[in-house]
Homo-oligomer: A and B are copies of this chain.
């Protein structure tokens, strides 16, 4: 992708004029799916493009979840700020996650003990809600979905990057305290696994566990702040 970053891209609309897919999404998916199937022929795969849509289940011994290009609009318009994301689950438990910030050549990844950026060990950061920035979905922010706008007033402000993957890398680097968006499983699988090694938890907007089925409002925040954040969200909804 980097070699051809200024070359032409074939763009197709999916569900809406702003829901786009390119020949590169399909090429990257085909390449990675092919390698997984070659190395682990019995493993199952849930992927964003085409019809590789295994339903997530705790009964599956080995499940890969792939987003070949996260931030496709950024890829098309900016040729920057997009990511390749891959997660691996055994019996419903996340074992490792991988997020590649393609243009920065930074590979964020975790094993079952720690998280890294390339060879650099990532460290947990102590966050204070009131001196933090959060990454948000613009629609949820402006409509105060689930109390997100009200929560944002407790912070120093919001940022929108147009890519879940890039927002997750900002969490890993301590640049964002939390990330709130309306996501498919392949948008949060890798991010939530890596983030868990850095003290974050990933929940649905009402505080429950993500279902990994279809689009769902999700947040990833420091475990130490989850109750405080959930209380702000809840108190806003009651009003």
A residues contacting B by CB (< 8 A) are: 17-18, 73-74, 77-80, 130-133, 138, 141-142, 149, 156-162, 170, 174-175
Pick from B77, B131, B157: contact of A162, CB under 8 Å: B157
Q: Knowing A133-B162, A141-B138 touch, does A77 contact B18 (C-beta < 8 A)?
A: no
Q: Are B138 and A77 in contact (CB under 8 A)?
A: no
Q: Are B160 and A158 in contact (CB under 8 A)?
A: yes
Q: Are A159 and B162 in contact (CB under 8 A)?
A: yes
Taken together as a complex, chains A and B put the C-alpha atoms of A126 and B80 apart, in Å, by 18
Query: Which residue of B is nearest A135, CB measured?
Result: B160
Q: Are A156 and B73 in contact (CB under 8 A)?
A: yes
Chain B nearest CB, measured from A145 CB (Å): 12
Pick from B77, B157, B161, B175: contact of A156, CB under 8 Å: B77
Chain B residues closer than 8 Å to A132, beta-carbon distance: 77
Complex copy number for this chain: 2
Chain B nearest CB, measured from A26 CB (Å): 20
Query: Which residue of B is nearest A131, CB measured?
Result: B77
Most buried by B among A18, A130, A132: A18
Q: Are A175 and B131 in contact (CB under 8 A)?
A: no
Q: Knowing A132-B77, A162-B133, A175-B77 touch, does A149 contact B142 (C-beta < 8 A)?
A: yes
Taken together as a complex, chains A and B put the C-alpha atoms of A161 and B149 apart, in Å, by 17
Query: Which residue of B is nearest A11, CB measured?
Result: B131
Chain B nearest CB, measured from A162 CB (Å): 6
Most buried by B among A141, A156, A158: A156
Taken together as a complex, chains A and B put the C-alpha atoms of A142 and B145 apart, in Å, by 13
Most buried by B among A77, A130, A162, A174: A77
- 9 new A-B pairs (CB below 8 Å) besides A78-B174, A142-B142? A17-B130, A77-B131, A77-B156, A78-B170, A78-B175, A79-B175, A138-B141, A141-B142, A142-B149
Q: Are B138 and A157 in contact (CB under 8 A)?
A: yes
Q: Are A73 and B133 in contact (CB under 8 A)?
A: yes
Q: Which 7 A-B pairs have the closest CB atoms?
A: A142-B142, A78-B175, A160-B160, A18-B156, A73-B156, A77-B133, A138-B158
